[in-house]
Amino acid sequence: LMKQKFVDELHWIQEDEMLDLIAIAQSAPGAIAVNGAIVVGFKLAGILGAVTAIVATIIPPFLIITVISYFYELFRDNYVVGSVLSGMQSGVGAVIASVVIDMGGGVLKQRSVLSIVVMLTAFIATYVYKVNAVYIILACIAIGVVRTVITQRRNAQ
């Protein structure tokens, strides 16, 4: 969703920059939406942009959850509310699938053999071998650091 808004609609940043920012946001602890907003806000407007992004990302869900928790006792056993929440799970799954497909397409567009191999290896490690996501993230960070160092050394020569 952030990619559609910031890259496709508003043209504030390039798609490859967005992929990099999302990678940074995913590696940080916390909600991806908040982390993504922070790194994009910082990229666009520095510290003030990051602070604005934090407030704008946290306040609406905070208010919604506060209202829901206040009325939770009234709705807890309501069949309709339970059905709506079950339906929302499907929607969340669809959004996650859309993001994965979009980001995977971005990696494929780069035509970087290393990026494609890392993406496929991470997928296989997660879903076939059930490797903990923390180890995959740490491995990807290490690969990214090594790749960056090598690229910077080549450019310096």
Let me know if residue 21 belongs to a domain: yes
Single pTM value for the model: 0.47
> pLDDT (tens digit, 9 = 90+) per residue, 51-110?
998 899 889 888 988 888 888 777 778 888 878 878 888 888 888 888 788 878 877 888
Is pLDDT above 80 for 29? no
Let me know if residue 147 belongs to a domain: no
The CA-to-CA distance between both ends of the chain, in Å, stands at 39
Let me know if residue 134 belongs to a domain: no
Q: DSSP per residue over 17-80, as a string? A: HHHHHHHHHHHSSS-HHHHHHHHHHHHHHHHHHHHHHHHHHHHHHHHHHHHHHHHHHHHTT-HH
Domain region containing 40: 2-79
126 pLDDT band, cuts 50/70/90, is very high
43 pLDDT band, cuts 50/70/90, is confident
Q: How many domains does the chain have?
A: 1
Let me know if residue 54 belongs to a domain: yes
